[in-house]
Chains A and B, each alone.
Chain A
């Protein structure tokens, strides 16, 4: 569904992306893993057209993303940045409603309200809907941002470290919500630092290192002790728990 071809980006002499080519399968969860500074966020931003690459291109359903008009792209692809600090004093419901902007340009219809209501419930925000963002905890704000992103209802949803600030229960819940939306035809690319979340929830893994694709494939093919140890340059052991691979490092 998303195909990046030979993406290269150099910023003041540093190669951030070096001929990165990836394929993101439709209707699946793709986890983007790799050590800090591997270029995961930059790849995500480049795919979403927030950062412009020096060369190479990104195709969405075989169409170059540069051919999409702004709102059209926003209806097909959404991205949640890792450090999305919102300074505005907005109510949760208002923020989530702005997710509908690419669809309605601010003129809300009853169907928009239905989407917003549903997403608020999905993220357990219905009780907080009338609260201002600056009265919420970090995790609640993160959920509000995620909810806005999901209200955008794009086919491809890119999430950069969405588990930040979320406690165990909400982290697990988010991944279940992601799976639920895959069932409704969505495609996800999620930057994950916890390999075990990748093992449990991802169908496909892209491993990046030093601005290049280190390995890509089915989750089972990436979960290989040698490969992961090389990727992170640290010993990683894989054990099976209830039939699922778990990566251990200590």
Chain B
């Protein structure tokens, strides 16, 4: 994959990969229980800690960051608007609603069942959002994200109300606030599905870029627009559901990462998609480490860190938006 990136000079590619590995490596040794590279050789407990807890955590951070950034990018293509992402436009909330419904009606459901049904509700929720957005005037750039926030709020409120009725309020906090502290061996495996979907999206990079030109232009070029919309919808829904079930909702990754990459390298997904994937992983890794360090030995959930970091970056994106200046 890295060799085919072809978007930066090779040395920059190697540099980027090296940095990601370096930070991942550093992240392995941040935690309440002291773990150092040296102790791995001497202490058998240390090796166990690494394999059972620290490594799964880093892997889940990388997989989540990558796949959420890609899901945000795909969602922006679907609605042709830069300022939406699954976590704020109803997909995440629909997934949470799905989990609550499963918990209520199939109490002993396996994680797989939860995830499957959360994917279905995320699909329905995102699909409904797309139908609503299609009726909005395209020129109103800021109307789509606003409608998304309102819509996500309504779906989230329904989920919260249901949870409150069923005494599941504590659980809803867990799903609505993404964090990686629970990611131990065996708990994060589903995230590989999200990671695989992120890789898969690269094979459809051209098709997604053409879809982003708008329906008529895409159909003029012979693209089966509706099929691409369906593929994108399924991709966004599964990634959202998988990450919500395992990690919880993490806001802003899907919004800020594709926007920053777009400013820098443009929107030809063949070139930008690998950078979005990489930057999503890197940013999530950094935010996760920050969350673990600021109030050490306690932890701030990565979802909260992103809430702060993401809000600032989003404001910056809005104020310096080239499209806003044009409009």
Residues of A in contact with B (beta carbons under 8 Å apart): 45, 48-50, 70-75, 78-81, 84-91, 94, 98-99, 101-102, 105-106, 132, 134, 149, 152
> Looking at the complex, which one of B213, B224, B266, B326 makes contact with A70 (CB distance below 8 Å)?
B224
Residues of B within 8 A of A106 (CB): 205-207, 270
A101 touches B214 (CB 8 A): no
Collect the chain B residues with CB atoms within 8 Å of residue A80's CB.
220
Known: A101-B210, A134-B326. A79 touches B222 (CB 8 A): no
Instruction: State the CA gap A86–B326 with chains docked (Å).
Output: 13
Chain A contact residues: over half helix, strand or loop, or mixed? mixed
Q: Name the CB-closest residue of A to B80.
A: A87
Whether the pair A102, B222 counts as a contact (CB closer than 8 A) is yes
B235-275 contacts to A, CB under 8 A, are 262-263, 266-268, 270
CB nearest to B271 among chain A residues: A94
- Is B217 engaged at the interface, CB distance under 8 Å to the other chain? yes
For A78, list chain B residues within 8 Å (CB).
220
B residues within 8 A CB of A71? Answer: 222
A94 contacts B268, CB within 8 Å?
yes
B223 touches A70 (CB 8 A): yes
Of the listed residues B138, B205, B219, B268, the one surrounded by the most CB atoms of chain A closer than 10 A to its CB is: B268
B279 contacts chain A at the CB level, 8 A cutoff: no
Given contacts A70-B224, A90-B266, contact A84 B217 (CB under 8 A): yes
B207-231 interface code vs A (CB 8 A; 1 in, 0 out): 1011011101101111110000000
Looking at the assembled complex, report how far the CB atom of B219 sits from the nearest CB atom of chain A, in whole angstroms: 6
A81-B217 contact, Cβ under 8 Å, with A87-B80, A90-B266, A134-B322: yes
Partner of B214 from the list A70, A84, A98, A149 (CB cut-off 8 Å) is A84
**Interface of B with A (CB < 8 Å)?**
80-82, 138-139, 205-207, 209-210, 212-214, 216-217, 219-224, 262-263, 266-268, 270, 322-323, 326
Contact A86 B213 (CB under 8 A): yes
Q: Do B210 and A98 have beta carbons less than 8 Å apart?
A: yes
- Lowest 5 CB-CB distances: which A-B pairs, in order? A74-B222, A71-B222, A106-B206, A88-B267, A102-B222
Q: Which residues of B contact A85 (CB under 8 A)?
A: 138-139, 214
State the Cβ distance, B253 to closest chain A Cβ, in Å: 20
Closest residue on chain B to residue A51 by CB atoms: B216
On whether the beta carbons of A70 and B268 are closer than 8 Å, the reply is no
Some 15 contacts from A to B, beta carbons below 8 A apart, are A49-B219, A70-B219, A70-B224, A78-B220, A79-B220, A81-B217, A85-B139, A86-B213, A87-B323, A89-B263, A94-B268, A101-B210, A101-B222, A101-B223, A152-B221
Cβ–Cβ < 8 Å partners of A88 in chain B: 209, 212-213, 266-268
The CA-CA distance from A73 to B218 in the complex, in Å, is 13
List residues of chain B with CB within 8 A of the CB of A75.
Answer: 222
Residue of B214, B216, B221, B222 with highest tally of chain A CB at under 10 A:
B222
**A48 interface neighbour in B212, B220, B267, Cβ under 8 Å:** B220
